[in-house]
Chain A
Amino acid sequence: QLVLTQSPSASASLGASVKLTCTLSSGHSSYAIAWHQQQPEKGPRYLMNLSSDGSHSKGDGIPDRFSGSSSGAERYLTISSLQSEDEADYYCQTWDTDIRVFGGGTKLTVL
């Protein structure tokens, strides 16, 4: 079964960097994912798609501070030079022919 696992919460200081993790279920380590950001009281926003080899393509207007990387079944979202507006929920998403799957989301707090 295709499942994505995310830690419920993370925190980092203003101006620092943070790395969020999304883990693919067993047997699905080659799957690409997408990262989405949801700021409080807003709809989601697409950040990037991320392949198993770490190559990624960002959405329109996404700052260079956001980057992605991969290792095995893990997919990472790194946010550098954290700003207050980065405080949000972050969701990873993957897909197969007839299904879309979201991770449970990580709530990022900027201290």
Chain B
Amino acid sequence: EVQLVESGGGLVQPGRSLRLSCTTSGFTFGDYAMSWVRQAPGKGLEWVGFIRSKDYGGTTEYAASVKGRFTISRDDSKSIAYLQMNSLKTEDTAVYYCSRGFSGYEDYWGQGTLVTVSS
């Protein structure tokens, strides 16, 4: 059974940093791209970014709203994807979901972790 579990969310002050983890099981992690998607309170889904599998260079892409502040990485030996968030803003407050990427779309999702940016 494919499982994705996010962790690391919480309350953080504006300008500070936070790292989220996405721990996975049930599939060969290294074969897949991994994405992060967020959802602000009462709003829709917003793509944050993704990291390709090593077979496709392990490179990353980001939404304009987070480029230069957020970094996605992966540890294939541990089957974990990370989202490093720096210079956090109040508008980054959201539930953050990780998802497995398959041919461009997300085919499995985690349950999400809440990040609240507030002073």
B-contacting residues of A (Cβ < 8 Å)?
32-34, 36, 38, 42-46, 49, 59, 89, 91, 93-95, 98-105
Contacts and interface: CB of A to CB of B under 8 A. Distances in A.
Contact of A59 (B104, B107, B111): B107
Interface string B30-58: 00000101000000111100100000000
A95 B104 CA distance: 6
A91 B45 contact: yes
B97 interface: yes
A100 B44 contact: no
Given A44-B97, A95-B104, A98-B61, A104 B109 contact: no
Given A59-B107, A100-B50, A100-B104, A43 B45 contact: no
B109 A91 contact: no
B44 A44 contact: no
With most chain A CB atoms within 10 A of its CB, the pick from B47, B97, B105 is B105
Interface residues of B, number: 21
B97 to A, nearest CB: 6
A43 B111 contact: yes
A100 to B, nearest CB: 4
B110 A102 contact: no
A46 B105 contact: yes
Nearest to B1: A60
Contact of B108 (A46, A49, A93, A95): A46
Contacts of B37: 44, 100, 102
Given A44-B97, A101-B47, A93 B106 contact: yes
A93 B105 contact: yes
A95 B105 contact: yes
Nearest to B110: A43
B106 A99 contact: no
Given A101-B47, A104-B44, A46 B104 contact: no
A44 B104 contact: no
B47 A43 contact: no
